Amino acid sequence: MRVVAVDTSSALGSIALLERDDPNAQGVLLFESERRMSNAHGESLLLGVDEAMARVGWTPRDVDRWAVGVGPGSFTGTRVGVATIKGIGLGSGREIVGVTSFEAVRWGLSLPAGHVLVSVLPAMHGEVFVQIADAAPLHLPVATAAATIGQTTGSAHLMVVGSGGALVDWAACEAHGVGVHLVTGPPHDVPHARSIAHIASRRERADDPAELEPIYVRSPDITVPSAAHRSSIPE
């Protein structure tokens, strides 16, 4: 299986090409590119994918699966990545797989016995995105995140993965005897395309392109004005 993966859900835009001949093998990373692009993903993503595929001699029809990080993260960046990969996948007739930011940051980790895995990513506006084990994602104020997580898990041991964990003051957990083990360094800081490629290559089924959408967790900052608001805007 040949996989092209991209992630634009954070300022670190990344592209990875992976080939996996044996279903039981790890897969070989043939190419990887990572660049801090801020909000310029839309200007560079297609060019970056073209350059990556040229480096290994692939064309779009050589790819079995196109994989993309679906967030949560930057609303604009995530939309750019999802829309681009959906377009390429549909145009080339190849499979598409979406991978969440939480799945990506915890890829390859070994969870110690008795620990609860908590994935934490920056959400801006003084908030963090949180997923406790495989539960529904949350967005929590940084100031109260530790207390909420501690009460929700009810565990004496937490393994916290993701760069958002460094933003949280875990004293509220530790004061109640909850041990917190932080894992915030690469590749467990933000989603990386190489992790997304490994995950996508192991998925039993691809996603339905019509149903693949970004995961926002909270409402986007820019929304469609309500009818009442539109009527108040002067023509």
- Number of other CB atoms surrounding residue 128 within 10 Å: 23
CATH classification code of 2-102+190-202: 3.30.420.40
Identify whether 220 is preceded by a cis peptide bond (ω within 30 of 0): no
Give span(s): CATH 3.30.420.40, the chain: 2-102+190-202
- Reduced to 3 states (helix: H, G, I; strand: E, B; else coil), residue 2 is strand
Secondary structure (DSSP) of 127-178: EEEEEETTSPPEEEEHHHHHHHHHHHH--SEEEEESGGGGGS-THHHHTTT-
CATH level 2 (architecture), domain 108-183: 2-Layer Sandwich (3.30)
155-175 pLDDT, tens digit per residue, is: 889 999 999 999 999 998 888
Q: Are 5 and 67 within 8 A, CB to CB? A: yes
- Of the two residues 154 and 97, the one the predictor is more confident about is 97
- Reduced to 3 states (helix: H, G, I; strand: E, B; else coil), residue 197 is helix
109-130 pLDDT, tens digit per residue, is: 999 999 999 999 999 889 999 9
182-220 pLDDT, tens digit per residue, is: 999 999 999 999 999 999 999 999 999 999 999 999 876
